[in-house]
Amino acid sequence: MSLVAHLTELRNRIAKALLALLVATAVSFWWYEHGLGDFIRAPYCGLDAELRFGDDADGCGLLITDVFGGVFIRLKVAFLAGAVLSAPFWLYQIWAFITPGLKRNEKRYGVGFVAVSSLLFALGAFLAYVSLSAGLELLLGLAGSDVIIALTAQDYIGFVLSLLVAFGVSFEVPLFAIALNLVGVLSHEVLAKSRRWIFFLTIVFAAFVTPTQDPFTMLLMAGPMIVLFELAIQVARVVDKRRARRAALEHFHDLGDDDASPLDARPSSLDDAPSPTAR
């Protein structure tokens, strides 16, 4: 294909991806009043009555302080939900554009990378949502009993969305270590030697990325990330061993039939030397 043809195909696939995102966002905008909004407010509504704003024990009201606040909140939630719902379609458009230029093993790695990254993002977002009530209770409870707590809808929903995205993205970081190892940029030896620094920097990263900045949420993010990094180190170990065995088998494959193979002139140890009685 010519450069113009590639650009045309890229334009068409971007247009299809944006159309899918637009449709999914419209569906999510309607869904907001039919369960999506309740799903987002559920961690806040599950708190004790003194930590919520309302006229009765069942109230969990969120304040809106400007005219367009409700519209922007609903659009923000609808766009994020639409991006998640339409992810299979726009990920396919990206994959369909780049796959003709990939080799067979690269295609296999690409499919696995997309699948695992999607699973890790969903796992991180799910963990953030499950721990949201405990984090809110800890943070709001520190205000004391003489304080009336009334959260604005902008602050609360922005906090929830940023927490979900932060956890989802953070769970992707160890996967990039595996990707760099698969392409030969990062070896298992380097990862193993840097294990302590990786774990320390993971805790620092979690401390800066978590929107709540509390130790509970920080450790909740850092703990699974450390486990995933350790898993990435072990995967890199297996990959490097397989790569070394493959290199040993293919060491002389590039030589011609009439070319002499290189000899190792270094003396071997006595333990490796053959026995005088061996035949």
**What is the per-residue pLDDT across 50-80, written as a single tens digit (0 to 9) for each?**
777 665 556 677 888 878 878 888 888 889 8
pLDDT at 253: 55
pLDDT mean across residues, the chain? 79
Q: Is the pLDDT of residue 216 over 80?
A: no
The domain limits of the chain are 1-164, 172-248
Amino acid identity at 200: F
Q: Work out the pLDDT band at 170, boundaries 50, 70, 90.
A: confident
pLDDT at 23: 93
One DSSP character per residue, 50-118 reads GGS-SSSTT----B--STTHHHHHHHHHHHHHHHHHTHHHHHHHHHHHHGGGS-HHHHHHHHHHHHHHH
Helix, strand, coil shares of the chain as percentages rounded to 5? Answer: 70, 0, 30
pLDDT at 241: 86
Q: Work out the pLDDT band at 279, boundaries 50, 70, 90.
A: very low
Q: What angle do CA 61, 62, 63 make, to 5 degrees?
A: 120
pLDDT tens track for 78-107 = 898 888 888 888 877 877 777 776 677 667
Whole-prediction pTM: 0.71
Q: Is the pLDDT of residue 1 over 80?
A: no
Q: Work out the pLDDT band at 274, boundaries 50, 70, 90.
A: low
Distance between CA atoms of residues 24 and 16, nearest Å = 12
**CB contact burial 164-177 (16+ within 10 A = b; e otherwise):** bbbbbebbebbbeb
Task: Work out the average pLDDT over 26-33.
Answer: 89
Distance between CA atoms of residues 187 and 204, nearest Å = 23
Q: Is the pLDDT of residue 249 over 80?
A: no
Cβ contact 217:164 at 8 Å: no
- Picking from 15-19, 139-143, 157-161, 240-244, which range would have the lowest pLDDT averaged per residue? 139-143
Distance between CA atoms of residues 240 and 113, nearest Å = 18
Cβ contact 76:161 at 8 Å: yes
* DSSP state for residue 271 in the 8-state scheme: T
Q: Is the pLDDT of residue 278 over 70?
A: no
Q: Is the pLDDT of residue 271 over 60?
A: no
Question: Which tops the pLDDT comparison, 7 or 255?
Answer: 7
pLDDT at 102: 66
